[in-house]
Chains A and B, each alone.
Chain A
Amino acid sequence: MSETPLFVTPLQVQEALRGQQYIAGDEIATTLFLTMQLGKPLLCEGPAGVGKTELAKSLAHATGRTLIRLQCYEGLDETKALYEWEYAKQLLYTQLLRDKLQDTLAGTNTLAQAADRLAQEEDVFFSMRFLLQRPLLKAILNEQPTVLLIDEIDRADAEFEAFLLEVLSDFQVTVPELGTLVAVHRPIVLLTSNNTRELSEALKRRCLYLFIGYPSMDQELAVVQLKVPELASKLAQQAVDLVHRLRNFDLRKSPSISETLDWAKSLVALNARQLDRDVLENTLSVLLKHESDLQKVRRRLDVTEKGPRLEKDHRPSRWRNEGDSP
């Protein structure tokens, strides 16, 4: 683990990410920098679609590391996350190698001798050849440094979390038949969570924490212009402005950056010149994924010369941007 660090300041992290078309604020850059410096896992939380997974991908590209992704789901266990012996292959090999085994055992006089000789060959059957590497083990054994993304950890069960703790603290795994496997390079670990359930204290304690909220207007505009450069800048401005106002609404699912980008792309695809009523009617479903949200917004939407307007919503919002006036 004597790699020279790639980055010396958080600013470099920011620039490297920008090179990968990821616009990171100071907060993200500084936290990532610390993650790499301290060698601790990073827990990213925030609403869906604000670019948590994307961050890991961009980081992998920016650092030239391989990205290994473990998608969590209910019922995920060690055999799917860490390793598994490939029994079918082992059985097949035993069958096919039967003759060879006869040869090996030929010339032994006693049963004990035969057993001893067989024991010498045991390694053949419990070798890396028959070990199915799942993402966690892959990240540990990879010859190249890696970025390990453990996505949506909140979907996995509490027991899996406990098991993960062990792996994340030492980056070594004990396979009873093989011994302890130690990480060649310490991976950069990113965990993401949509906060559908509370994570355990122990896990949180071991991680650094980053909350990625909805971006500020300028940031989001920059993202849209970077990713969808075809969109006219005035239209982009209007679109982002509308999205920001939608976020202050009490919706079941507020639009995130990913939705803004989809919307921007569909505006380009439809060759829209301005945000008039027709265009909005046709494309609003890209932004809002619930029928009730759609209806609510349609009722309050008012298109004027200057662009779309929204009546104010006085009900409390779920994820309100910091510093945004309602």
Chain B
Amino acid sequence: MNEQMIRFISALRAGGVRVSLAESADAFLAVKMLGVQERESFRLSLRATLVKEASSLPAFDALFPLFFDSGEQPMQDATQDLSPEEAQMLAQSLRQFGDQLRQLLEKLLRGEQLSRQELDLLAQMTGLHRSRELQDRNRYTQRMLRALDFPEVQQATRRLMQLLAQMGMNKQRIHQLQQLIQANQKALQEQVSHYAGQRIAEAMGESPPDAPPLDELLDRPFSALSDQEMALLRKEVHRLANRLRSRIALRQKHAKSGQLDAKATIRANLKHAGVPVTLKHRDHRLKPKILVLCDISTSMRFCSELMLSLVYALQDLVSKTHAFAFIDHLEYISPDFAGKDSNEAIAAVLQRMPPGYYSTDLGLALDQFAQQYLDTVDRRTTFILVGDGRNNDNDPALETFQKLARRSRQMIWINPEPPALWGSGDSDMLRYAPLCSNVVMAATLGELTTAVDQLLSQP
């Protein structure tokens, strides 16, 4: 059991759940306390000790049965209570089928599970041992079933029933047989699926997926990222944000202004016999208000997404964030982030505003913003625009932009394009740039992080 638990824990780690040594030690302690006899309390003791995030619970729930359930489904023997004549009929009609199909049908009729060797053979045939990802499970299950001629069984069953009917078997009996075959079919399917999951999970635990070269990814331009690399970066954003957090928090804390803290002052000056030589101030945090306006058209998608993740991961350092997204029109997307993981939220927004048919129109978005949401901008607001300034020859609405820039504390433009390209083609960047307090080029996650760091440290 201990070995099985260790294998389970390494599969969890491979599945993206962070399990430390201390936590696995806790798990063993907990199991010692509650024992392994009862499946449910065993599961709960592992869950309480190993999983520390709601987002990791699904991974746990998917992996647990693969390691600790036998995967054997109860199957019924359909041939048991057949009369000799009926058995005869069945045997006769089964002869009509090809070898492999007949064997499979017999198995289903008798309610036999696949043996370990058969399963291993199937795995080898389908290349299951190469898979390291649990989401491949269904695909491989299907492949293994196909190798078993499973899709043909449906038709074969029907034909078998027809044959039996022609031979004059009792209708009720035929129906019963059909039901049993279907039930057994399902059980077999479950067994194969369980086996596939188990094999993949074991493989995951033994050789976790290759550690990605993250440092290199940090410096890769957004435009050159594959979907897979993007997924890695999404995870990395959280770590980056955590690192940024303490640095920025400390900087904000040491603000040398604000209300006098009488208690702290007395405490600090006790050594001067109560003469206030050094003054202490109440922590006065100058938290910026942030407003992000993101272009989420295809070319800008990755950049905007990472920017939003970063801003929302640093929520506690900011007094208020309003987020807007636009392609051809403006949408207020802050509500999407309430109580949600930022990855999920962004996925939801992107689903609602799919790219494609329409073209980017920043000018219109700015006008809409000025009409509807102008009250979200005040002199404490840092206005951040993430976009490439490519406006598809639409009206750039420079006046509106200027109005917004004047109203806000600072107007920062984050552009993933290198300055050499600004102004080329349909880019209005050079016209916007003089109106901004700061234009930052950020084409990689590393640059984006630096930009956010600067942005939050000079509120």
Contacts and interface: CB of A to CB of B under 8 A. Distances in A.
Contacts of A74: 316
A198 B242 contact: yes
A10 B44 CA distance: 11
Interface stretch (B33-41, B393-401, B443-451): B33-41
Given A157-B316, A205-B22, A205-B23, A34 B34 contact: yes
Given A27-B44, A45-B54, A252-B335, A38 B30 contact: yes
Nearest to B238: A198
Contacts of A291: none
B250 to A, nearest CB: 8
B434 interface: no
Nearest to B319: A74
B338 interface: yes
Contact of A75 (B29, B51, B283, B339): B283
A319 B54 CA distance: 11
Chain A's interface size range is 35 or more
Interface string B334-348: 010011100000001
B254 interface: no
A103 B242 CA distance: 59
A17 interface: no
A74 B53 CA distance: 22
B29 A38 contact: yes
A163 interface: no
A158 B33 contact: no
B169 to A, nearest CB: 39
Interface string A31-42: 101110110100
| Residue from B47, B48, B52 whose CB has the most chain A CB atoms within 10 Å | B48
A46 B54 CA distance: 8
Nearest to B264: A79
B contact patch SS: helix
Contacts of A77: 283
Contacts of B433: none
Contacts of A40: 26
Nearest to B313: A198
B45 interface: yes
A197 interface: yes
Contacts of B316: 74, 157-158, 196-197
A129 B270 CA distance: 18
A201 B238 CA distance: 12
A208 to B, nearest CB: 5
A207 B249 contact: no
Chain B's interface size range is 35 or more
Contacts, number: 95
Contacts of B41: 10, 26, 30
Interface in B382-425: none
Contacts of B49: 34, 208-209
A209 B249 contact: no
Nearest to A319: B339
A contact patch SS: mixed
B234 interface: no
A157 B30 contact: no
A318 B48 contact: no
Contacts of B338: 252, 318
B138 interface: no
Contacts of B283: 75, 77
A290 B254 CA distance: 38
A31 B48 contact: yes
B20 interface: yes
B249 A157 contact: yes
Given A87-B266, A201-B18, A26 B40 contact: yes
B267 A87 contact: yes
Interface in A204-220: 204-211
Contacts of A49: none
Interface string B257-276: 00000010011001000100
Contacts of B22: 205-206
Interface in A25-78: 26-27, 30-31, 33-35, 37-38, 40, 43, 45-47, 74-75, 77
B299 interface: no
B28 to A, nearest CB: 11
A85 interface: yes
A280 B30 CA distance: 47
B348 A316 contact: yes
B245 interface: yes
B57 interface: yes
B51 A209 contact: yes
| Residue from A46, A47, A197 whose CB has the most chain B CB atoms within 10 Å | A197
B341 to A, nearest CB: 9
A31 B49 CA distance: 9
A115 to B, nearest CB: 15
A321 interface: no
A252 B51 CA distance: 27
Nearest to B282: A75
B176 interface: no
Given A77-B283, A159-B246, 5 more contacts: A27-B44, A34-B45, A75-B285, A87-B263, A201-B20
20 contacts: A30-B45, A34-B33, A34-B44, A35-B48, A38-B26, A47-B339, A87-B266, A158-B245, A159-B246, A159-B249, A159-B253, A200-B242, A204-B52, A205-B52, A209-B48, A210-B48, A211-B57, A316-B348, A318-B339, A318-B340
List of 9 A-B pairs having minimum Cβ-Cβ separation, nearest first:
A204-B52, A30-B44, A31-B48, A209-B52, A208-B48, A197-B316, A211-B54, A87-B266, A37-B33
